[in-house]
Chain A
């Protein structure tokens, strides 16, 4: 009923191959964009914007990056955290060298540095697959972490080995540093994520994306049909790392404000891999859902479980216990999803949508 398609006729190829062929889907997208840009920044508290929405969007972008590589091209990677680090350190060095340049330009440019490093570590993917490739990308993770510690030039010879985000402006508005308001930072991150999601969705449905999926589904068949694995795999590594690099720059510059190597360690690579798995491999919607569940759910549990338990039951629960509870819930969810629905929340949503289409007369 909700997804009644009756009467929605396609009269041209253009409308038939549209991204959202159903009117209701289009409506939803515009609804979310309006909410995101016009409602949340005005009504969200600083905590909601700074500690929930900005990290959620940053992780979404990183998940899109990993999903391009893992979900669409079938190359498993555990180097996401390090590629994010490359973006962050590149952006830091660039903005220190050229303090007057618009910071948004550097956030995008830092993605290219990450892409170059990603392509380099993607080279072995031409020869090896699966588990062996995981080990190479893990090597990238460890090597880059080592580099972030051992090359003092990267953190500008700071005694504490951390990068501190300086205050920078874009179009006359303070965007980074402690003076930047949560609303501004949120809007910048949201704009970047919306633009890059739109770009990714076009890339995926175009020639390059189809090549990636052919490689994923059966590389030998793809090769026989004229797909060159070299270009397909390396372009996937490049685009994926580009997204991760931009996400890393956003993470440090617009969310955390300072970072040590710890912020790019392998735990983050795993965290983002879990987002992709839980959200849905090979789905952009899944990236949003996965990031939402893995980042927002624990925040809500940590902040709302102790007062809730306090108010409703005679027991009290400490903050550290709530933290463990959220870890347990996320862990159980990952296991349950791997067993029950390997394609993640995105698949669940598409099932719901299908049911809504035929409701109330299932067949």
Chain B
């Protein structure tokens, strides 16, 4: 009996402490929450992303003492790629003075977009989330640098056009049958008549990710000239293995940037040789910034990553995400003259940072990515991507930067943004000068 009461008392004590106010950080620190997914179905992608994101900030802390004299406090909160846990993480961390959220999940992003203007914390969904968020006037608090899914799809189609022509060709589009996978369909529908190609969709349900036999029988029947994949997690290696099984030419198979990481191709190995994928962040460790990360963080034992993982696609993407955050912080510090900034300042920073060729060279990432700069109107940036190819054991870049078909994508983005805003009453927009 006594034992029960003690346990009860302990439970009350824990419950009581939940009421207690959240810890607040000192004035001149920069608090950045990291919604990671090191567990769950997509941990294979989530772990290197979280590592790259954390390691760059640790490197800045170690090498430069933070950004502009303010230390970066990074707090990880595990979401397991689950939207409900993501919202919980958001509620748990936002009170600490969070500068911005990088949800790394379309589901969580969609839930945070309406909350961002109310809590005055911007959302940076780097290369995922809602494509329409690229329209800065309609979405003042949401950013999807460096490119939206629609821009990416238009670049991939241009790559196909430049490599053998697209007119009269049949393009198979295999996609994860959730919001993420279906996102580029409006663009395909729009561009098919304009560019003169035919497209066939092959949806793959989340439960069938690893059982795509039937889907690829259909692919064989349809005989597409090219295949484009909008897959994620275990779906990608399965798709490539099935493609190899039906002897689909690998160099005519292009994945988007979430379908082209080391974690996706390593389980496939040599049979995946020739498979291509879009990407917006450089591969490898031959950049001064990455050498600094290895020197100050990985070799010093301050990273959760293995040394071999540094430089891989998803690690570098997480790092690139951190670079954009850091540049936005710098811009915000410069604009406000404060060391420790707020979410509102960060929003300004995300709209004004400049990451041009010269600045890329300064931060040690020359040739890593297309130059981007923040703007009020355009929350997507340049949107240029490049194509990389799997050589059986590693990725190699094979194309120049391919800018998106802005004239086609922009009106679609504007329409989608209008539609989103019209469904929300009292949505806050902004006018850009």
Contact present for B179 and A162 (CB under 8 Å): yes
Q: Is A131's beta carbon under 8 Å from chain B?
A: no
**A162 engages B186 (CB within 8 Å):** no
Of A3-11, A21-29, A164-172, A275-283, which binds chain B?
A164-172
Q: Is the CB–CB distance between B110 and A258 below 8 Å?
A: yes
Is A336 close to B, CB under 8 A? no
Shortest beta-carbon distance, A119 to chain B, in Å? 26
Segment of A238-246, A319-327, A339-347 in the binding face: A319-327
Chain A residue, CB-CB nearest to B422:
A166
Q: Judging by beta carbons under 8 Å apart, are A47 and B83 in contact?
A: no
Task: Give the contact stretch, choosing among A82-90, A110-118, A224-232, A299-307.
Answer: A299-307
A26 to B206 Cα, complex, angstroms: 48
Stretch of B84-92, B219-227, B401-409 with 4 or more beta carbons under 8 angstroms from chain A: B84-92
Partner of B38, one of A156, A161, A318, A327: A318
B376 contacts A by Cβ under 8 Å: no
Q: Are A178 and B118 in contact (CB under 8 A)?
A: yes
Is A223 among interface residues, defined by CB-CB distance under 8 A?
no
A166 and B423 CA atoms in complex are apart in Å by 7
Contacts of B218 in A (CB 8 A): none
Pairwise interchain contact B110-A319, C-beta atoms closer than 8 A: no
> Please, which residues of chain A bring their CB within 8 A of the CB of B77?
302, 319
Bound-complex Cα distance A226 to B68 (A)? 81
Complex interface: stretch among B14-22, B295-303, B323-331: B14-22
**A35-47, CB under 8 A of B: which get 1 and which 0?**
0000000011111
Residues in A whose Cβ lies below 8 Å from that of B131:
159-160
A191 sits at the interface (CB 8 A): no
Chain B residues with CB under 8 A of A48: 18-19
Which chain B residue has the least Cβ–Cβ distance from A52?
Answer: B18
Please state if B19 and A299 are interface contacts (CB–CB under 8 Å): no
Chain A residues near B21 (CB, 8 Å)? Answer: 45
A159 touches B107 (CB 8 A): no
| B84 in complex: contacting residue of A46, A47, A96, A256, CB < 8 Å | A256
Nearest-Cβ distance from residue B156 to partner chain A, whole angstroms:
18
B423 contacts which chain A residues (CB < 8 A)?
96, 156, 164, 166
CB distance A51 to B83 under 8 Å? no
Q: Are B110 and A162 in contact (CB under 8 A)?
A: yes
B66 interface residue (CB < 8 Å to A): no
- Complex partner residue of B91 from A47, A177, A262, CB under 8 angstroms: A47
Q: Does B19 contact A46, Cβ atoms closer than 8 Å?
A: no
- B19 near A43 with CB under 8 A, answer yes
Contact present for B114 and A178 (CB under 8 Å) = yes
Which of B1, B18, B425 has the largest count of A CB atoms less than 10 A from its CB? B18
Q: Write out the residue numbers on chain B whose beta carbons fall within 8 Å of the beta carbon of A319.
A: 36, 76-78
Cα-based distance from A65 to B180 in the complex (angstroms)? 32
- CB atoms of A47 and B95 under 8 A apart: yes
- Count: A-B pairs, CB below 8 Å: 141
- Quick one: which of B370-396 are within 8 Å of A by CB? none
B416 at the interface (CB under 8 A from A): yes
A16 → chain B, closest Cβ, in Å?
A: 30
B58 CB → nearest A CB, Å: 14
In whole angstroms, what is the CA distance A65 to B122 when docked? Answer: 38
Question: Are A257 and B424 in contact (CB-based, < 8 A)?
Answer: no
Closest partner residue, chain A, to B130 (CB atom)? A160
Cβ of A258: which chain B residues have Cβ within 8 Å of it? 110-111, 113-114
Is A55 on the interface with B (CB-CB < 8 A)? yes
A313 within 8 A of partner (CB)? no
Report yes or no: B132 in contact with A159, Cβ–Cβ below 8 A. yes
Q: A263 contacts the other chain (Cβ, under 8 Å)?
A: yes
Cα(A165)–Cα(B420), bound, Å: 11
Q: How far is the CA of A327 from the CA of B80 in the complex (A)?
A: 11
Q: Is A359 an interface residue when CB atoms closer than 8 A count as contact?
A: yes
Does the CB pair A166–B424 fall under 8 Å?
yes
User: Chain B CB within 10 Å — which of A47, A142, A259 has the most?
Assistant: A47
Binary CB contact string for chain B from 110 to 132 against chain A (1 if under 8 A, 0 otherwise):
11011101100000000000111
Q: Which residues of B contact A159 (CB under 8 A)?
A: 130-132, 182-183, 186, 416
B19 and A44 form a contact (CB under 8 A): yes
Q: Which of B1, B19, B76, B78 has the most CB of A within 10 A?
A: B78
Whether B92 pairs with A303 at a CB distance below 8 angstroms is yes
Query: What 9 A-B pairs have minimum CB-CB distances, sorted nearest first?
Result: A320-B38, A161-B179, A178-B114, A160-B179, A51-B91, A319-B78, A323-B78, A320-B78, A51-B88
Residues of B within 8 A of A (CB): 1, 4, 14-15, 17-19, 21-22, 36-39, 76-78, 80, 83-85, 87-88, 91-92, 95, 106-107, 110-111, 113-115, 117-118, 130-132, 177-180, 182-183, 186, 205-207, 304, 416, 420, 423-426
Given A158-B179, A300-B18, 13 more pairs with CB closer than 8 A: A44-B19, A45-B22, A45-B95, A146-B205, A149-B177, A156-B423, A159-B183, A164-B110, A178-B118, A259-B83, A318-B76, A320-B37, A320-B78
